Amino acid sequence: MKTNKLIIVTLAASFAAVTGALAQTATLPPASDKQGITYATDIKPIFDASCVKCHSGERAKARLHMDTLAGVLKGTKEGKIVTPGEPEKSWLVKSVAHLTKDAEGWMPPLHNKAGIKPLTKDEIGLVIGWIKQGAK
């Protein structure tokens, strides 16, 4: 029994080290060159498909409501996730681009029960462009 526990702990530590290393070497895709990106027309459809299942309603994870612009701009119980004009400082970008130090901060989570896939580079680029343009 102790051996199994040791193996599980070792595997978990190895996974964390590998994903952490991958996150640190990853780079952001370029910002979309689309002009006039808005939450309502461009970003909400991405969030509806990839985020709102967990981040909406009375039981929103981390008290983050991604189904409205106001909710996204308000952020989580920990603080803001978007810094308008500065995508590189926005936790949202780091999270969807898998640039957080550990995989637990990756959104959507890699092995989520809903089977939601990670955002594509184009979707991440659109989110980056939206934030760069002021997150409106």
Closest CA to 96 of 25, 21, 46: 46
Per-residue pLDDT of 2-19, as tens digits, reads 554 544 544 444 444 444
What residues does each domain of the chain span? 2-132
9 is written with which tokens? 């702990």
Per-residue pLDDT of 71-104, as tens digits, reads 999 999 899 999 999 999 999 999 999 998 888 8
Q: Which residue has the higher pLDDT, 100 or 127?
A: 127
Residue 14's pLDDT is what?
42
Determine contact, residues 92/81, Cβ cutoff 8 Å: yes
Per-residue pLDDT of 20-42, as tens digits, reads 434 444 588 999 999 999 999 99
Would the CA dihedral through 111, 124, 90, 47 be positive or negative?
negative
Of the listed ranges 74-78, 99-103, 107-111, 124-128, the one predicted with least confidence? 99-103
Count the alpha carbons within 13 Å of 64 in the hemisphere toward its beta carbon: 21
Round to whole Å and give the CA distance between 43 and 112. 21
- Reduced to 3 states (helix: H, G, I; strand: E, B; else coil), residue 72 is helix
Q: Which residues, 6 or more positions from 94, have their beta carbon under 8 angstroms from its beta carbon?
A: 100, 105
Residue 17's pLDDT is what?
42
